[in-house]
Structure 1
Amino acid sequence: MWTERILRHRRLVMLGWLVLAIVGGALAPKAIDRLSYEFSFPGQPAYEANLKIQDTFGGGGGNVDPVVVTVTLPEGRSFTDPGVRDELAAAFGRLQRPGWRVASPLDVADPAPFIRDRTAFALVYPPFTPGPGPYAAALPQLEGALAGVTVAGAQPLVTGVDPLNESGGGSDRPIIVEIALGAGGALVVLALAFGSVLALVPLLMAAVAITTTFLLVLALTAGVDVSFIVQYLVGLIGLGVAIDYALLLIMRWREERANGADNEQAVRTAMATAGRAVVFSGVTVAISLLALVVLPLPFLRSVGLGGLLIPLVSVLVAMTLLPALLASVGPRLEWPRRRPPKTESRAWLSVGRFVVRHRWVSAVLATAALVVLALPVFGLRLGSPELAAIAGGDSPAAVGYRNLVDAGAVGALRPVELVTTDPAAAASLDQVEGVWTVVTPNGPGWVEGDQRLLPVLLTDDPATPAGAETVERVRAAATGEVGGTAAQDADAVEAIYGDSWWVLALVVVITFALLARALRSIWLPIKALLLNVVSIAAAYGLTVWIWQDGHGSEALFGTESSGSITVWVPIAAFSFLFGLSMDYEVFILSRIREGHDAGLSTDEATIHGIGYTGRLVTSAALILVLAFIALSTVPVVDVKIFATTLALGIALDATIVRGVLTPALVAAFGRVNWWWPGKRQTHS
């Protein structure tokens, strides 16, 4: 009934999608401009302390780290040289502006902590603005104030977390760059798969789905803050998912035409078979994102909502625009191909026969490989990337960072911030192990009534294990409210993962119910869920090995080890990988189920199911992996780690899991695969 209506009104369907795509494309920049860069954790102590710092003391600070101005003297010079102190005072005096909080050797009773051998520094907290660079407005003013200034011939350098992120280059690069990279790789794969103009059709479906989803994201921003991460999910996951769904339908349409069906009948059959798998796959991806939508964290909820839109829109495009287009001009798009395409892949038939013949050996070896790959996950550390991971290159910010490291003052970049009314708080915290010094500035913006704001500088980068332990000791010993980004990182772990187990359980139960109904089997969805867990664990393990442990991050990304995995990455990666991986499982099992229902034995259905879907899954997975490689070019370490996890997860899933484990286990369990309450089994 659905397909008949689409075919009857095909011109209207195509016109409607054309209008949506044009409007969505025109308004996409507006949607992107309205995205939020805030990571909020309502109710968590550090986040609430950070809000208090901003409301009470103004300027930067709290959940935005300070800018650090450093001066490193040439070899042989010292701050005790005649006139050098006066030049330093003149340079740091230029940092004072209305509404800016500054802590420098000029603003404290004891300047010794701010002067380390040949390096002196000042903490600067300008007002910040929402956006990719919170100090984007203040940094040009600061650099302008220091232009032409020298201290003993040395130029002051501006560094800090925000300047280091800015110096990575391209932080404001438009998302269209990544989409173009991903689309270019996809076009190559599609051209090899189709050998005709038809290769452009999945890309057209993706373009319509992406632009339409940006239109929905714009509507979503009217009611909630939507994270900037959503633009990458829509642009690149959307590219992969929309192409995957189009591939599945087009491949089945071609197969039916090659078997002698006329064009419209081929469309109807493709919609009745592959279309059903597409719907269940899209709904499964959307349900997996419930893990993010129901978490009580605004930025993750928005990632879930935004991410949920793209598979649903992609399904709608595949189930409406694609059949209308194929019915209208499909055969003409086969140019210049002359021969009917093969319906089965000889290579994948051979793989299927080999795996089925050696089912238990294949299953054991594949499982062992995944377990080995997953082992590093037991050393997983959650937090922000270490400063060294964002301080590559020779920019002034990176040079300033290295000067601070050499001077033993790396803790200046990410202070813990204490709001207190206790006059003895500074002296007390000075005794805590791992605390380098507690700054007690006397300048404007540091005292409000009986409340004082104290930056606590640590000996180590708080993203390192030693630094993180110091943060916890400071929180335990402090008399007051402890804020800063380092303290907020610790709260983020509890906020995201403290009660997430029930959310994941809910997603698993709903997915099981859907797959059981779609496949009319109890064991097949259980197997699919178990394989997903193993596959995702292996992806996590490899990500930890590459990024946290630093085996390849420099070679692959030109970035030092992150030292930890960004707090939100595992839960977000789980939500997307769980659904995306299930796509391939549904594609393969649906075809195996179809063969079994047609009278084939389990072994025969498995071999032919892999033969029919192997090339499809390989092509679809390769396109997604290329999209995630494009995502990894975004010059933000958090996004690179996320992209790495997704790319590894899809690659492992499409090879070891779906290419070996799935057919091996289906063949191994024979009749058990097809058990369904109340249904009588007739053959194996």
Structure 2
Amino acid sequence: MATLLYRLGKHAYRRWPLFIAGWLVLMIAVGGFAAAFSKPTTDSFSIPGIPSEEAADLQAELFPGSKDAFDQATVNVVVAAPEGERIDQAPYADAITQLISDIAAGPDIPEELTTTDGQAAVNPVNALEARDTNGGSGNGDANGGGRGANAPPADTDPAVGAAAFAPVSPSGRVGVITFGFDVDTITDVTPETQDAVLAAMDTAAESGLTVAANGQGMGDFSGPGGTAELIGIGLALLVLVLTFGSLVAAGLPIVAAIWGVGLGLAGVTGMSAFFDLSSSAPLLATMIGLAVGIDYSLFILARYRGELDHTDDRAEAVGRAVGTAGSAVVFAGLTVLIALSALSVVRIPFLTIMGLAAAVTVLLAVLVALTLLPAILGLMKSKAFGGQLRKYRPKREADNKILNNGVRWARLIGRRPLAAVLLVVIGLGSLAIPLKDLYLAFPTDSTASPDTTQRQASDLLADAFGPGREAPFQIVVDGRDLAQGQRDGAFADVVAWAEGQDGVSAVIDTAALQDPATAPQGPVEGTQLLLLPESGPDDPATKDLLQQLRDGEDGIESATGTDIGITGLTAITTDVSDRLTGALPLYLAVVVGLAFLLLMIVFRSILVPLTATFGFLLTVLATLGATVAVFQQGALGIFEGQPIVSFVPIFVIGVVFGLAMDYQVFLVTRIREAHVHGESTADAVVDGFRNSARVVAAAAVIMTFVFAAFILEPDPVIKSFGFALAVAVLVDAFIVRMVLIPGLMYLMGEKAWYLPAWLDRILPDVDVEGEKLERPHLARPAAADDEDREEVPVG
């Protein structure tokens, strides 16, 4: 492989116009396809085969007009009068009536303001007046009565009975205007449509009302603003300037990475023409592609600058840099690709697409580093290290070898290797302790940032109606196996069964709410129940209630002769979380197994891949433990405590494994390179740190900055990913690879390179270290009076 990459790098340097033109044509072609055929992203987290999806299929079969839960562009506009007042008082009543009129006049609104199921939206002021007229019974239009909906007095607990479904709170202070945008899916909702609703809300707020809105129709579909990327790039540039001491050289990895990410995003966007693309996928692809793109180019550029210390032939230096460091880049990239692509084995469609989208950008980062970067070096020639801010003149030992901090650190670990290993294991083990309290859920309006209208509306609803108002379950009841005269009684029995479960706030048969003019005609074959729990969507008690209902399904089906399914957003996201958790063991087995084989090929050893895997497990446990402590438990007061997003652990495991193997490959290949050239294992460790520790540290700092910048994004998914990956890089690069691995290498000694003869014959020889590229010349010593040299090694 080293020989092939050597020729590729040398050819790209000499034929730079051809390579640059090829990349430009590819960018235009992919970008044009994406612009012409891409489709909007979606946040549908459905998984075929889960119980809630089967229930949704039953729902669509019984009620053909029903929409998928993720496609309902529902909006809840919550209005609240000041404390001690009611919404039917002046001037609030008129303001609410005008608010409804203004919303109805906006774009993508039906001629008559209606809910997503076609029912007329209720003015909470009229509902409150109707409730007062009925003597505070709270039934009828005001509360949406029906089978199983008791009629509590107006001053009862809002989380009891039918009041939980009402458009107005028992106190009369808070009202809800629920409607749906007239669109096919939520991705068809435009910013102009949302802005019209927000403008109407601002006008209503002038009366003294508190007005906020949430629901899927008011989600943020605008995507990232680019601030995180710019911050990450800016900090990465600073690190590169300090690493190379050259403004031009510092900019080359940035240019290469941006080109790869840009092309990757165009490709990912084009993928939406064939697949449903999650709105998080492009941003995650950007995060990962930008980090690895800078690092891969950095490693090759640093090796190129080091090779210039041995030859004045720049084409030769580029060829040898790509043949050696490029080989490590290829195998490092392969580990990341394995980790990301292996997400497909867990059979979760949206996760597969996210993994493949990120894998595309990683693949492009590798190809850009191997071909476009050498071509740019060919374009710039001697100016590649221009704009110098300082000259690098490292200290040298008696044998003329460089003495740097990497050497000092390796020797420090070598004095007490066992103590270093124990310190790492105990320290990271302690950091992993909070992982025992891990609770997974999907983000909801109740976990949004407190300064958003979505969160403010959610808080108002929870205070006025109980937290279960935003965690409804839909129970689909199929009565087709029953005689028509038996169905109403069976449906009532199912309602009574559902109401009798612990933790249930209210149950209502939605068939009783339908307008006779729009209700389906003919025999009633089934019905839909709306069940509100007493707990919120992110509360473990809600998950327990769902399991309790499903445990009792067989019994009520046998008793009534019906078929029952439970669906809705809360049920679907809970099922997805359970599937993700169950998929972790299979995913780990596939990723670790494939990567272990790859690392055996790279290092020609059994123990070195084992230590790499052991270090990875420590990194993952410590990373997830820190994420639980900071995000879920609110440690340090940085973030508001909330559940961990369900697919964060499995995706973090995949990405962290790839990144961990990156550092393992870059660092240990230099150690093995010294060993195959005659150094003892202890001396090889020192030599490996001499030549790679500084660049690996710079790469890790860059990656940490890039990931940490995404913590500034408002999306809780991206925020938690950015935090987890930043912690993972710091832990893996500076603790595991810089302390644990050299400590273990010292302890293993020559046994580290043990490989049975029969296995050695089976494994292919890929020559990652570029042994076949060695030349008979000796490294030229750096002259003390060479004031004009700019090609000096960085590590």
- Relative to the length of structure 2, the TM-score reads 0.77
Q: 2:701 aligns with which of 622, 625, 628?
A: 622
8 A contact 2:462–2:469 mirrored in 1 = no
Bigger shift: 122-131 or 614-623? 122-131
Q: Distance in 1 between matches of 2:443 and 2:403?
A: 44
Distance 1:201 1:339, change over 3 A: same
- In the alignment, which of 449, 464, 467 is matched to residue 539 of structure 2? 464
Which of 127, 144, 159 is the equivalent residue of 2:213?
159
Q: Structure 1 CA distance, aligned partners of 2:183 and 2:549?
A: 26
Rounded to whole Å, the distance in 2 between the matches of 1:341 and 1:132 is 57
Q: CA deviation at 1:573?
A: 1.0
Distance 1:513 1:48, change over 3 A: same
**Residue pairs, 1:577-616, within 5 angstroms:** 577-616=656-695
The answer to whether the aligner puts 1:97 opposite 2:151 as a matched pair is no
Paired position in structure 1 for 2:497:
428
1:348-387 alignment to 2 at 5 Å? Answer: 348-385=406-443, 387=445
Q: What residue in structure 1 maps to residue 238 of structure 2?
A: 188
Cα distance, 1:31 vs structure 2: 7.6
Indicate yes or no: 2:298 matched with 1:216. Answer: no
Identity of aligned residues (%): 29
Check whether the contact 1:232–1:631 (CA below 8 A) recurs between aligned residues: no
613-622 vs 408-417, which moves further:
408-417
Which shows bigger deviation, 494-503 or 597-606?
494-503
Mark the CA change 1:214 to 1:71 in structure 2 (over 3 Å): closer, same or farther.
closer
In 2, the alpha carbon distance for the partners of 1:668 and 1:286 equals: 32
User: Does the 8 Å CA contact 1:44/1:491 hold for their aligned counterparts?
Assistant: yes
Provide the rounded CA distance (Å) in 2 between the counterparts of 1:238 and 1:246.
12
Q: Deviations over 1:128-159 (max 9, x none)?
A: 554568696875676688786699x6647343
Deviations 1:549-568 (A, max 9, x none): 1114x53xxx5211x21111
- Residue 514 of structure 2 corresponds to which residue in structure 1? 443
1:568 aligns with 647
SS of residue matched to 2:432: helix
Distance 2:265 2:93 in 1: 55
Map 1:293-372 to 2 at 5 A.
293-337=344-388, 339=391, 342=394, 346-372=404-430
**Pair 345,28 (structure 1): closer, same or farther in 2 beyond 3 Å:** farther
- Which ranges of structure 1 fall in alignment gaps of 5 or more residues? none
Measure the CA separation in 2 of the matches of 1:504 and 1:680: 24
1:140–1:186 distance in 2 versus 1, CA, 3 Å:
closer
- Cα pair 1:591 1:613 within 8 Å, conserved: yes
SS of residue in 2 equivalent to 1:417: strand
What TM-score does the superposition give when structure 1 sets the normalisation length? 0.88
CA positional deviation for 1:24: 4.7
Q: Deviations over 1:35-80 (max 9, x none)?
A: 3332221111212333555673646672468533434333333589
Q: Does residue 119 of the first structure (1) align with residue 174 of the second (2)?
A: yes
Residues 154-175 of structure 1 show CA distances to partners (whole Å, capped at 9, x for unaligned) of 6473433437754xxxx51446
Does the 8 A contact of 1:132 with 1:172 survive in 2? Answer: no
Q: State the match for 2:743 in structure 1.
A: 664
Give yes or no for contact 1:362–1:661 (8 Å, CA) kept in 2: yes
SS, match of residue 418 in structure 2: helix
- Taking only aligned residues, the RMSD between alpha carbons, in angstroms, comes to 3.4
State the match for 2:560 in structure 1.
none
Instruction: List aligned pairs for 1:499-578, cutoff 5 A.
Output: 499-552=583-636, 554-555=637-638, 559-562=639-642, 564-578=643-657
1:62 aligned partner, one-letter code: A
SS at match of 1:498: helix
CA distance in 1: counterparts of 2:456 and 2:379, whole angstroms: 61
Candidates 282, 298, 303, aligned match of 1:247: 298
AA partner of residue 493 (structure 2): A
C-alpha separation in 2, matches of 1:604 and 1:414: 62
Offset of 1:450 from its aligned partner?
3.4
Deviation at 1:345, TM superposition (A): 6.6
Alpha-carbon distance change, 142 to 226 in structure 1, aligned in 2, over 3 angstroms: closer
Give the Cα separation in 2 of the matches to 1:193 and 1:26.
Answer: 37
Query: Taking structure 1 as reference, are residues 497 and 330 closer, same or farther at Cα in structure 2, changes over 3 Å only?
Result: farther
Aligned to 2:250: 199
| C-alpha distance 146-165 of structure 1, shift in aligned 2 (>3 A) | closer
Task: Give yes or no for the alignment of 1:62 onto 2:69.
Answer: yes
Aligned counterparts of 1:360 and 1:200: Cα–Cα separation in 2: 41
Residue matched to 1:258: 309
Tell me, yes or no, if the aligned pair for 2:39 and 2:273 is still in contact at 8 Å: no
Tell me how far apart the structure 2 counterparts of residues 45 and 96 of structure 1 sit (CA, whole Å): 33
8 Å CA contact 2:300–2:326 kept in 1: the answer is yes
C-alpha offsets along residues 239-282 of structure 1, whole Å, 9 cap, x if unaligned?
A: 11111111111111111212445322222221222111111111
CA drift at 1:538? 0.7
Please name the residue that 1:490 is paired with. Answer: 574
Distance 1:649 1:164, change over 3 A: farther
Q: Per-residue deviation at 1:434?
A: 1.2
Partners of 1:83 and 1:13 lie apart in 2 by 70
Q: Which amino acid aligns with 2:616?
A: N
Distance in structure 1 (CA, Å) of the matches to 2:274 and 2:758: 48
CA deviation string 1:419-445 (max 9, x = no partner)? 225233333322221111123441349
- The CA deviation string for residues 350-374 of structure 1, in whole angstroms up to 9 with x for no partner, is 1111011110000100111111111
Equivalent position SS for 1:577: helix
Task: Kindly indicate whether the alpha-carbon contact (under 8 Å) linking 1:67 and 1:161 is maintained by their aligned counterparts in 2.
Answer: yes
| Counterparts in 2 of 1:525 and 1:23: CA distance versus 1, 3 Å | same
Q: Give secondary structure in 1 for the equivalent of 2:757.
A: coil
Secondary structure of the structure 1 residue equivalent to 2:679: coil
TM-aligned CA deviation for residue 225 of structure 1 = 2.3
* Cα displacement (A) at 1:349: 1.5
Instruction: Please tell me the residue identity of whatever aligns with 1:222.
Output: A
The amino acid across from 1:252 in the alignment is R
1:182 is aligned with what amino acid?
G
Secondary structure, aligned partner of 1:209: helix
1:488–1:583 CA distance, 2 compared to 1 (3 A): same
Instruction: Tell me by how many angstroms 1:415 deviates.
Output: 1.3
Distance 2:356 2:50 in 1: 23
- 1:20 matched to which residue of 2? 26
Unaligned runs of 5+ in 2: 105-111, 128-140, 146-150, 152-161, 395-400, 479-490, 557-563, 761-795
CA contact (8 A) 2:17 2:375 kept: yes
Matched, 1:473 2:479: no
- In structure 2, do the counterparts of structure 1 residues 86 and 263 end up closer, same or farther at CA, with 3 Å as the change threshold? closer
The answer to whether structure 1 residue 35 and structure 2 residue 41 are counterparts is yes
> In structure 2, what is the equivalent of residue 403 of structure 1?
460
CA contact (8 A) 1:127 1:135 kept: no
Q: Which residue of 1 aligns with 2:732?
A: 653
The one-letter amino acid of 2:234's match is G
Taking a change above 3 Å as real, the CA distance of residues 201 and 453 of structure 1, as seen in their structure-2 partners, is same
User: Retained in 1: the 8 A contact 2:79–2:212?
Assistant: no
Please give the per-residue CA displacement for 1:367-406, whole angstroms capped at 9, x wherever unaligned. 111111111111111112465421502x554443332233
Moved more, 646-655 or 429-438: 429-438
CA contact (8 A) 1:24 1:213 kept: no
Q: Measure, in 2, the Cα distance between the counterparts of 1:85 and 1:451.
A: 39
Per-residue CA deviation, residues 433-465 of structure 1 (Å, 9 max, x unaligned), is: 111112344134996543333321221112112
Alpha-carbon shift at residue 92 of structure 1 (Å): 7.9
The structure that has the greater radius of gyration is 2
1:455 maps to which of 524, 530, 550: 530
Deviations 1:96-138 (A, max 9, x none): 4385346865262346442332334355455555456869687
